[in-house]
Structures are given as C-alpha cells and as structure tokens.
Structure 1
C-alpha cells in the first residue's frame, strides 16, 4: 500500500472534518403540546432583615443567596436580580403541600425590611411602608397572571420552613393581598360560628396536626404538642391572626384552621377592576 497516499487521504479527511465544525441541531417548531404549564408553581415572599445597601450586596454577590426580585422600601421600587427562567436561591430546605425544595419551582421576592429585634418587652417586628406593599402587590399580580400561579400557592418563607424562618412576619399585611384578589381568606362568618363551638369543646392537638398537614405544612399527626406543631400554629397565626401568634391552639385559631381546611371555607375577593388613562 502506498503510505504517502494513505497519509494524504487521512489528512484530507481530518481537514474536512475540522472545516465542518460542530453541528447545530435543526429543531422544528411546527407543533406545541397542550400538556404543559409553567415551571413557576409558587410565589414565595421574604423579608431581608437588612437595609437596602446590605440587601442588594448579599443578594447579588457571594452571599450564596438570591431572589428573582428585590422590592426597595424608600423609594418603593422593584428590581429584578435573577431571570424568571433561572433558579434563584431563596427557599432553602422547604416543603409545601407535598412539594419539596421549592427553589426549583418558585419565584422568590425579597422585601427590604429590618425584620425583628428582641426587646425586654418581647420580639418587635418592623412595619412595611404602604407604598412598598403596593409595589409588592403589583409585582405578585403580574407574576401570578403570567405563570397562572394558584392563589393558595402565594406563600411566605415561614410557611415552607416554620420555626426556621419567620418572614415576612406578622407585620406583613396578608389581608391586603386578599383584598387585592390574590390570595384566599377564611370566611369570617364561618370562623365566628366555629369559634363558639371550639370554646365549648376545645380542639385536639392531633386534629390540629392533621388539618395543618392538609393545609400544606410538613407536619405529621403524633398527637403530641411538639415544637414543630407550635411553630406551624404560630406561622398560621402570623398570617390570619397577627395580633396574637404565640403558637397556642385556642378556640379562634382552631376555628381558623377548621375553616381554612374545609371546602368552601376560603374566600377570594374580586380582583380590582383595571384602571387606565387611555381614551375609549
């Protein structure tokens, strides 16, 4: 065999391959499946426990934590830090209604807020400026519409990690999100009626654990008043009865839990009509 001829043919083949380079697949988009939804199933609200400058630094540099959005308090402005198509690191170890590791299925919103301080009179949480809350509501509504997030999946960090996390805390006005047509709320008429019943016959802790697990918390029915149960009750109270969130299963809390986990017990307020300045 002519070795020179063989070598020349091999070199020509190699050069031909190099000239062609890596091949880009041809992908056609003629068809679209109906069997799909958004990867963003949840919206999770947080507070930063830091001022604006420190919040921005931690969420954008080497702090190993991030969020899709940061809502500043003064001036009240919204900043996008992570593209919604990418995963931000905001939820950590988390669980809600059978779903775990919510970083992979949620959009995280951090709200600039000092969080809390412990004082001789007890723990004191910082308020949220109304203009900041209005921006949060606008942002949540926009995300909810685009991703079709179910109202019961607009939740707080404390919901998915009770005890370990408290944010957005008892000062966050969840009721305003309900009034904006974003989240459900226990029917006050049903709550009042059942409160009377639970005043007469107190609720059992095993019943509460079962209902709280049904509501969404990662809690098992042990029948024992353990710390996880107390933390879950306190988190539930922070949202629906923020005036008293001591984690005690009193009659009003039992009524709220009962209504929140009974079909037809959670009500949605009508979304406000859109306003505009354009001419008809």
Structure 2
C-alpha cells in the first residue's frame, strides 16, 4: 500500500511539472537593461590582496584590473549583483549595486606625507585595459556616457576613488564619459567671475548632473564634499570644495550639452 501511495504521489508531481504552460507570444516593449551604470574604483591594495578581498571578503566587483600586466579578471558575472557601490546614489537612483557594473583597478590610492597628500598614478597598460573593457561593456549594455562614473561621484561623503589621477578626459574623448567644451567653459567663467552664482544654483546644477546633494541653499559640509567630488572628476588640478567661477563654468557647460 505504501509503495502504491508513493507511486501515485510521484505521478502527481510529474503531472504538475509537465502541466505548466507559458505563452511567450506577447513580448512587451516596455523594458530596458538592468545595467544602467559603470562605477570605477581603486582598490587601495596590491594585486594579490585585492584578489583576496574581492573574492573572499565582504566586497566584490565584476572586474578587477591588475597592476603590472593589467590583467583583466572577471570576478562576478554581469548578470549577478556585485557588492562594490554600497550606500550610493546617482541621477535619482539609489543603492547602485543593483543597477551597475563595478570595475576595480589595482592602485594604492594615496598616502599622506608631511608635505600633503600624494596620489598614485595609473599605468598606461591599466588605462588601455580600462578603455577596452568599457567599450565592450558599453556596446553590449547600451550604457549612456554620462553614466560612466566614479565611486566618489555616487558616494561623495565617504569615497575618493578612483581619485584625481584617473584620466576622465581621456576616457571621454573615447566616448566613455562626458567632458565640458573648453570654449564654453571660458565663456561661462568670464561671466561667473563678474556675477557669481548662489549656493542654491550650485546645488541645483549638481543635482541636474546626477549628484545627490541636499537643496539647503547653504554651503554646508555635505555640499562641499559634493563640489569636491565634482571637481575631482572634472577639474582634478584643484578639488578643494570651494564654489569658484571655474567650477561653476564647468558645471554650466556640462549641463548645457
């Protein structure tokens, strides 16, 4: 009797699994790619330590670019969510782990010395690898140039990577990011030197570009961090968080594209 009941149960289960019928003849046009952003980082560690942390630690990324040979490691499949962005926001989207591809680059970041902070450069081989990898990712996922960003852009109050030595302008010249037109910046700067914009204007324009900034109308600590992150990306020669005429000119030029 028990054997009969078991046999009947198996038959019922088999029938249930075979009974599912899905009609796929009406595909919706209302969708887009899960991947909307690419976020670039430095690792603050050497290659061996970076691999260890990104594969067995509490963080991860889809790709890691090594140092000497600039080997491109894929650590997480692009269809999966990697843990690289943390508490983050860009263009109104929050917690970007779910909608981004993370690329870590082996680089110590910086060291503090008696003469100030010293930032480490990226090698030519690393930059070439970044460009090749980004071109492949962008082509396959249809990512907009303005959505190729740094960790400091999406988390300006707590992150500085990929730092001021990262060549954003060079990437933008390859269609892998945005960069302001130099003539537009010069025109805007002459105007802003005569009539500086308000802090509210900076906050509005930074938010329009994609940054998460509170519209307080005051030059508070958070706003200074956001301005500094913006400057680090688009004017790496000076990123002191001061809302000067050149920063305003660059911001205006970017938002007028």
Same fold by TM-score greater than 0.5: yes
How far 1:30 moved relative to its partner?
4.4
Structure 1 partner of 2:10: 18
- Determine the C-alpha separation between the residues in 1 that align with 2:173 and 2:225: 26
Q: Spell out, residue by residue over 1:160-218, the C-alpha distance to the aligned partner (whole angstroms, 9 max, x if none).
A: 00020000000000011111122121111111001011111222112111111111111
Give the secondary-structure state (helix, strand or coil) at the position aligned to 1:70. strand
1:130-279 equivalences under 5 Å are 130-262=124-256, 264=257
- Determine the C-alpha separation between the residues in 1 that align with 2:130 and 2:28: 33
Give the secondary-structure state (helix, strand or coil) at the position aligned to 2:232. helix
User: Which of residues 27, 30, 40 is equivalent to 2:35?
Assistant: 40
Deviates more, 1:18-27 or 1:81-90: 18-27
How far 1:151 moved relative to its partner?
0.9
How far 1:261 moved relative to its partner?
1.8
How far 1:120 moved relative to its partner?
1.3
Structure 2 partner of 1:57: 52
1:88 aligns with 2:87: no
Give the secondary-structure state (helix, strand or coil) at the position aligned to 2:103. strand
Give the secondary-structure state (helix, strand or coil) at the position aligned to 2:54. helix
Q: Normalized per residue, which structure has more helix?
A: 2
Scaled by the length of structure 2, the TM-score of the pair is 0.94
Q: Gaps (5+ residues) in structure 1? A: 1-7, 265-280
- Determine the C-alpha separation between the residues in 2 that align with 1:252 and 1:20: 73
- Determine the C-alpha separation between the residues in 2 that align with 1:69 and 1:28: 37
How far 1:223 moved relative to its partner?
1.6
1:126 aligns with 2:93: no
How far 1:12 moved relative to its partner?
2.2
- Determine the C-alpha separation between the residues in 1 that align with 2:104 and 2:32: 25
Alignment coverage as a number of residue pairs: 254
Superposition RMSD in Å: 1.6
Structure 2 partner of 1:107: 101
**Does the 8 Å CA contact 1:210/1:220 hold for their aligned counterparts?**
no
- Determine the C-alpha separation between the residues in 2 that align with 1:73 and 1:202: 43
Q: Spell out, residue by residue over 1:141-169, the C-alpha distance to the aligned partner (whole angstroms, 9 max, x if none).
A: 11111010111111100000002000000
- Determine the C-alpha separation between the residues in 1 that align with 2:53 and 2:192: 46
- Determine the C-alpha separation between the residues in 1 that align with 2:222 and 2:252: 19
How far 1:13 moved relative to its partner?
3.7
- Determine the C-alpha separation between the residues in 2 that align with 1:68 and 1:101: 16
